[in-house]
């Protein structure tokens, strides 16, 4: 075969392989877009675990009508314009890949209206084929509908699990998001029934309420609040007492500058801080937020952005370890004295 340029739709479908693994990844990308657009409320409607339908409606800034076709073009973004911007990126998105990728592997519709526009518009894309823009009534904000995920990619569809399983992944991801953004109202419905409603709470003392809603009183009644700053870093949140340790690592939430990440340096520092207060095979529960200068952390490591790279890895490790080790000192004292903690 001679070398040839691949058609756009195929390029997008290939990229979708990295960004869109399952319905939960679609929900993640779309809700992140809503948050980047300044939404205060996001409605998430799902059918059949998101496989049949994912509809995300937000009350954010909306997309100007003339930019709608760009929103579904590859490498088109309103969030960065230069490498400098990338180094300091504060939005969750910046790669300009999610919408074109999702639109290439589903029956997709994007409707939006900015506050300045009188009428909304709608753009439909069927498996990558774009239909003409149409007027469409819409409140200020944006709605994205994704139907029949992977209908045109059988190899991918095969890997989708049962409705319950896919829904579980979506709910888990939304839980992680709800913990990070307590000021945002999230309503989740599945097959026409409201399944979860995270009411907005103000930052500060009320924040614990969101944590209780997301993780249960079992966690909030047995945790320590963390708040520590130094060396250009700030760590805050909650760590579970050793008595609230779990048999799996299912309640471990870590965020870097508001973005949920999995990181080995962080995981190691936390494990080490708990090493002498936990039994073997037990896992701490925690919700921790690390804030740092965005230039100190590279978020462009993987298309799905689950991973980050710290410039000063050892400093970060030491900071987390020390902060948590000290916070857990009281539980250690309890252990030494033979008390229940």
Binders in 27-56 for Mg ion, by CB under 5 A:
33
In the list 41, 52, 79, 234, the residue contacting ligand ADP (rule: CB under 6 A) is: 79
**Closest to ligand ADP by CB, 57 or 207:** 57
* Number of C-beta neighbours around residue 327 at 10 A: 18
Binding of ligand ADP by 299 (CB under 6 A)? no
According to DSSP, residue 242 is labeled G
Binding of Mg ion by 98 (CB under 5 A)? yes
- Counts for the chain of helices (H) and strands (E), in that order: 12, 16
How far, in Å, CA of 151 to CA of 135, rounded?
27
Q: What are phi and psi of 65, to 5 degrees?
A: -50, -40
How far, in Å, CA of 109 to CA of 129, rounded?
11
Q: Which residues pair with 237 in a beta bridge?
A: 226, 288
For 289, the token pair is 């937020």
**Closest to ligand ADP by CB, 79 or 282:** 79
Binding of ligand ADP by 120 (CB under 6 A)? no
- Choose among ligand ADP, Mg ion, none what residue 152 binds, the Cβ cut-off being 5 to 8 Å by kind: none
**Closest to ligand ADP by CB, 94 or 310:** 94
In the list 51, 94, 241, 277, the residue contacting ligand ADP (rule: CB under 6 A) is: 94
- Provide the terminal-to-terminal Cα distance of the chain, rounded to the nearest Å: 69
Binding of ligand ADP by 33 (CB under 6 A)? yes
Q: How far is the CB of 184 from ligand ADP (least distance, A)?
A: 13
Could you please report the per-residue DSSP string of 169-212? HHHHHHHHHHHH-TTSEEEEEETTEEEEEE----SSTTHHHHHH
Binders in 59-78 for ligand ADP, by CB under 6 A:
60-63, 71, 77-78
Q: How far is the CB of 239 from ligand ADP (least distance, A)?
A: 32
Residue 272, helix vs strand vs coil: helix
User: Closest residue (Cβ) to ligand ADP?
Assistant: 93
In the list 93, 100, 141, 242, the residue contacting Mg ion (rule: CB under 5 A) is: 93
Residues that bind Mg ion (CB under 5 A): 33, 93, 98
Question: Residue numbers of the site for ligand ADP (CB under 6 A)?
Answer: 29, 33-34, 37, 58, 60-63, 71, 77-79, 93-99, 142
């Amino acid at each position: 075969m001679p070398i040839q340029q691949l058609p756009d739709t195929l390029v997008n479908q290939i990229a979708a392989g990295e960004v869109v693994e399952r319905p939960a990844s679609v929900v993640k990308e779309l809700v992140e877009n809503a948050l980047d657009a300044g939404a205060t409320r996001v409605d998430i409607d799902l059918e059949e675990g998101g496989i049949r339908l994912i509809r995300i409606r937000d009350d954010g800034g909306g997309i100007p009508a003339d930019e709608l076709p760009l929103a579904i073009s590859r490498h088109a973004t309103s969030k960065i314009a230069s490498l400098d911007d990338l180094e300091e990126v504060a939005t969750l998105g910046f790669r300009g890949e999610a919408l074109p990728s999702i639109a290439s592997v589903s029956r997709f519709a994007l409707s939006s209206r900015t506050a300045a526009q009188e009428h909304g518009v709608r753009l439909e894309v069927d498996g990558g084929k774009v239909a003409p823009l149409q007027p469409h009534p819409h409140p200020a904000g944006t709605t994205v509908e994704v139907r029949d995920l992977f209908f045109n990619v059988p190899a991918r569809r095969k890997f989708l699990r049962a409705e319950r399983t896919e829904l579980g992944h979506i709910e888990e991801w939304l839980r992680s998001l709800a913990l990070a953004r307590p000021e945002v109202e999230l309503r989740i419905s599945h097959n026409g029934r409201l399944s979860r409603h995270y009411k907005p709470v103000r930052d500060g003392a009320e924040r614990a309420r969101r944590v209780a809603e997301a993780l249960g009183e079992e966690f909030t009644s047995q945790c320590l609040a963390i708040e520590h700053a130094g060396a250009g870093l700030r760590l805050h949140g909650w760590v579970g007492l050793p008595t609230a340790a779990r048999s799996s690592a299912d309640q471990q939430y870590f965020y870097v500058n508001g973005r949920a990440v999995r990181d080995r340096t962080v995981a190691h520092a936390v494990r080490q801080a708990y090493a002498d207060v936990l039994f073997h095979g037990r896992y701490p529960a925690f919700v921790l937020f690390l804030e740092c200068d965005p230039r100190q952390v590279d978020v462009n490591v993987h298309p799905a952005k689950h991973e980050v790279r710290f410039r000063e890895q050892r400093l970060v490790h030491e900071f987390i370890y020390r902060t948590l080790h000290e916070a857990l000192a009281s539980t250690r004292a309890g252990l030494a004295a033979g008390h229940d903690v």
